Amino acid sequence: MQQVIKEIIVATKNTGKVAEFKVALGTLPYKVTSLADLGNFPEAPENGETFAENACAKAEFYARLTGKLCLADDSGLEVDYLKGEPGVYSARYAGEHAGDQDNNKKLIDNLIGVPPEKRSGRFRCVLALADAEKILLTAEGFVEGVILDAPRGEQGFGYDPLFLMPAIDRTLAEMSHEEKNAISHRGQAIRALVKQLAALEK
Catalytic residues: 74
For residue 202, which amino acid is it?
K
Alpha-carbon distance 8 to 87, whole Å? 27
- List of long-range contacts for 148-156, beta carbons under 8 Å, 24+ apart: 148/119, 149/108, 149/111, 149/112, 150/108, 151/104, 155/180, 156/180
CB 52 within 8 A of CB 126: yes
Cis peptide leading into residue 86 (ω within 30°) = yes
Helix axes 15-24, 185-201, angle to 10 degrees: 40
Residue 183, H or E segment? helix 177-183
The greatest distance separating any two alpha carbons of the chain, rounded to the nearest whole angstrom, comes to: 65
